[in-house]
Amino acid sequence: MKVNKMKKSKLRDIIKEAIKENFDDRLKAQMGMSDDEFEKNVTSRDIGAPFPGTDKVSNGYKAARALIDELRYVTYKKLSDDERDAFTKEMVGHFIETTQGMAAAKVAMARKGL
């Protein structure tokens, strides 16, 4: 039984890496960047703490990261590109309904120069 679990774990890691690579490729293409530009300007950045000013990892942060992983590695696989865009739009709308959500969105857009 342990061998089966180990194989499943390794398979999950391979799938996660493939999804990550596909996401990076799509993002790079949409940004119109070469491999070198993307590596230098996007993937090599240290964005700092997820919530500036605190090093404490709260239960809310852990729950959010778990949900993000579920979305990226389970839900997104089931959706077409158009469905994923519609899903993302609805989720962003949901999250910016709160003051904290709006503040986080403004910070994220400011970091990207938007």
Q: Is residue 102 part of a domain?
A: no
Q: Is residue 32 part of a domain?
A: yes
18-68 pLDDT tens trace? 665 566 777 777 778 787 777 776 665 555 655 555 567 788 888 989 998
| Residue 76, pLDDT score | 86
Q: Is residue 20 part of a domain?
A: yes
Q: Is residue 57 part of a domain?
A: no
Q: Is residue 19 part of a domain?
A: yes
Q: Is residue 14 part of a domain?
A: yes
Q: Is residue 98 part of a domain?
A: no
Say which amino acid occupies 93.
G
Section 74-85 average pLDDT: 89
Mean pLDDT estimate for the chain:
76
26, 76 in Cβ contact below 8 A?
no
Residue whose pair of structure tokens reads 């996660």 in the numeric block: 16
What is this structure's pTM?
0.42
Which is it for the CA torsion 89, 104, 76, 94, positive or negative? Answer: negative
- Distance between CA 71 and CA 23 in Å, rounded? 13
Residue whose pair of structure tokens reads 């729950």 in the numeric block: 63
Indicate the number of domains in the chain: 1
| Residue 1, pLDDT score | 45
| Residue 13, pLDDT score | 73
Q: Is residue 39 part of a domain?
A: yes
- Is the pLDDT score of 84 beyond 50? yes
The range of the structural domain enclosing residue 25 comes to 1-45
Sequence-ordered list of residues with C-beta below 8 angstroms from that of 97, at least 6 positions apart, any chain? none
44, 30 in Cβ contact below 8 A?
no
| Residue 91, pLDDT score | 87
| Residue 4, pLDDT score | 56
